[in-house]
Amino acid sequence: MISPDKVELLYGPITVTIGAPVAAADPMIVPSSWLPDPDPPALPSLLFWGEAVRPVTVSFLKEGRGRPMIKDWMSFSIVADGWQIELSAQYAPETRDTVIRTAEAVWAILASANAELPRKPPAP
């Protein structure tokens, strides 16, 4: 999805949102009917636009796990050079490892393609 202020891309279970920085979820403020993740995953620090960057993880588990249709939620976000990049997913608990591995792969692809600062276009 492309809108005037952001772009959203789907990579399997992961939604990648790129746009201007906006308020992000706070890992210390747990929404009602959710639980803090006792073992939140972390993505590695990689070179991104000339700096080593490690995304901030926010991960909540839905209360009442074990019931059908209950989904957990996690996001990984960075702000770099005036842009916010967020990888997020709402997922069934049994798919957690797949979601984390997909997020790791997407982060590696984004970082490897953007290790250096974007170059300015040549003058006409």
Whether residue 52 lies inside any domain: the answer is yes
Whether residue 64 lies inside any domain: the answer is yes
Whether residue 123 lies inside any domain: the answer is no
Instruction: Give the pLDDT of residue 69.
Output: 67
Percentage of the residues of the chain whose pLDDT score is greater than 90 = 34
Average pLDDT, the chain: 85
Percentage of the residues of the chain whose pLDDT score is greater than 70 = 90
Residue 84 belongs to what domain range? 2-113
Whether residue 124 lies inside any domain: the answer is no
What is the rounded average pLDDT of the residues 45-56?
85
Whether residue 95 lies inside any domain: the answer is yes
Whether residue 8 lies inside any domain: the answer is yes
Distance CA 91, CA 65 (A): 12
Please tell me the pTM assigned to this model.
Answer: 0.82
Q: Count structural domains, the chain.
A: 1
Whether residue 119 lies inside any domain: the answer is no
Query: pLDDT, tens digit, for every residue of 63-95?
Result: 765 566 678 999 999 887 778 899 999 999 899
Whether residue 120 lies inside any domain: the answer is no
